[in-house]
Structure formats: C-alpha cells, structure tokens
Structure 1
Amino acid sequence: MARWQRPALTEGRSTDDDQPPPAKYDLARKLRRQMSLAETRLWVRLRNREALVFNIRRSYAFGPYILDFYCDDAKLCIEVDGGQHPFDEARTYDEKRDAYLKSRDIETMCIPAIQVMEDPDSAALYVADEIRLRLTKG
C-alpha cells in the first residue's frame, strides 16, 4: 500500500488497534490546552531540558486512552496522579489502561501530583532518569 493510501477499514475502525479514533485526537488537543497545574509544571521542566535527547509527548492519544506524557523511544507512559486516583472507578480505569499498555510493551510510571507540586524539578529529573535507564537497558 502506498503511503498516501488509507488503511482498510473494518466496521468503521482502522485495522490497527492502537490507532485512536478521530475523537480521541480532538480530546487530546483539548487536554493539552487544559493541563492541570501539576502536569504543566512537569511539562515545562521536561520540555526545557536541553540535555534530553529523547522526545516526550504530552496528552498523547494511544489506542482508547490519552496518556499524560509518553516517550516512544523508552516505551514509557508517565501519568501524573491527582486526588481522584484513590477512588475505585479511577483505580479500575488505571489498571485497565496499564494492562493495555503492558500488552504493547509500554510501562507506566505514576507520579503523585502533590510530589510534582512540591518539587517539580526533582519530579522531572526522576522522569528523565527513568527514561535514560530504560534506554540503556535497551
């Protein structure tokens, strides 16, 4: 198939299960404009680190989920967990998302929002160190 050709559609869905539906892209775009304060503080530090040689995406649509941050090189999802995460419904959602990502060899790293708010520089360093570690394991 040529690059310009669309993949075959089956029942309105792409044959690639990881391809998000178009509405997810719109939602991800909206979430990038409405990031939480903790996500914004972490993003500013990750984005501005000159030493980073890897690409980190924010509010990234992947399959049926939108990941807070994602590094494709390291196959790492970074989630900033806010106050809603201890509740059963949010916990169940997180477990399903993590299982889905794990089945695609993507690990999930969760950082409490309170930790990012208290020391965003350390949180960004923690993320960068984890990415470097995963890249060296290879």
Structure 2
Amino acid sequence: MHPYQKNLKQPSRDLRNNMTEAEIRLWSKLRNKQILGLQFYRQKPILNYIVDFYCPSANLVIECDGGQHYTDEGLEADRVRDEALAQLGLTVLRFDNLQVLNGADGVVEKVFDVIHVQLESPF
C-alpha cells in the first residue's frame, strides 16, 4: 500500500460520489476486474494526491483530464504529480475527457496493452 495523507479520505469519497461523465464511462470498463482479472480502485489517495483510477497489481494510475489540465499551471502540476508517482514505481496514463467519451474502447485497449507489458516485465 502506498502512503497517503489521511485528510484525503473524505475528499476521495466525495469524488467517487461526483465522478465526471468521462470517469463514469471509463469506470464502467475497468470495474469488476474486466481487464485481465485485475482490481482497479477509483479516486484513490496516494501521497498528497487523489488519482482517478489505480491498479496496484500493475502499478498503474489512469487519469481522465478535463480542460484545467491543459493550462500552463495544470500542465506543470501534472508534471510534478506524475514525477512523484513515478518515484513510487507507478506508471501514469493520461487521457483527455474527449478521448474517453468518444473512444472508450480505444482507451481500454491502450490500458490493456500497458498492463500486459507491465505484467510481463521482470521489474
């Protein structure tokens, strides 16, 4: 289990109860161990962050990004966040909301491919 700030527990619950349409769509494809029988968690606190989706078996974080992520500040915050998560050995996949809403099957295929490689890697 990765360390996290205890004060993020309630905000993560709130986010689970108020998911975006893109998150709902992707969650419908990830839940119930639909990808290689692996468990995913949604709105999971890790370090000082709440990640959209997390698969501990594959050390994978998946983010659905809205418009705020494409500002200069958002891009820098995501870079810092991704770097911190990478230091824990996590791979971060980012998809913009439109990718998920307009092509969820392609997003799931990419997730499957990354997990497949992660699980075959000796490290």
Give the structure-1-normalised TM-score: 0.80
1:31 corresponding residue in structure 2: 15
The amino acid across from 1:112 in the alignment is: D
- Taking the aligned partners of 1:117 and 1:68, their CA distance within structure 2 comes to 15
2:6 corresponding residue in structure 1: 22
- Taking the aligned partners of 1:132 and 1:19, their CA distance within structure 2 comes to 26
Instruction: Report the aligned-residue RMSD.
Output: 1.5
The amino acid across from 2:17 in the alignment is: R
Aligned-pair distance for 1:123?
1.4
Aligned-pair distance for 1:129?
2.2
Question: Which of residues 40, 47, 51 in structure 1 aligns to 2:31?
Answer: 47
Q: What stretches of structure 2 of length at least 5 have no aligned partner?
A: none
Q: Secondary structure, in 3 states, of the residue corresponding to 2:70?
A: coil
CA contact (8 A) 2:53 2:61 kept: yes
Greater percentage in helix: 2
| Correspondence 1:130 to 2:106 | no
The amino acid across from 1:108 in the alignment is: V
Q: Please give the per-residue CA displacement for 1:14-73, whole angstroms capped at 9, x wherever unaligned.
A: xxxx53222201111110111110011000011156453111111010010000111111
- 4+ long deviations beyond 3 Å: 48-51
Listed as ranges, the matches of 1:59-98 within 5 Å are 59-98=43-82
Listed as ranges, the matches of 1:110-125 within 5 Å are 110-125=94-109
Give the structure-2-normalised TM-score: 0.89
The size of the alignment, in residue pairs, is 121
1:103 corresponding residue in structure 2: 87
Q: What stretches of structure 1 of length at least 5 have no aligned partner?
A: 1-17
Higher Rg of the two aligned structures: 1
Q: Percent identity?
A: 35
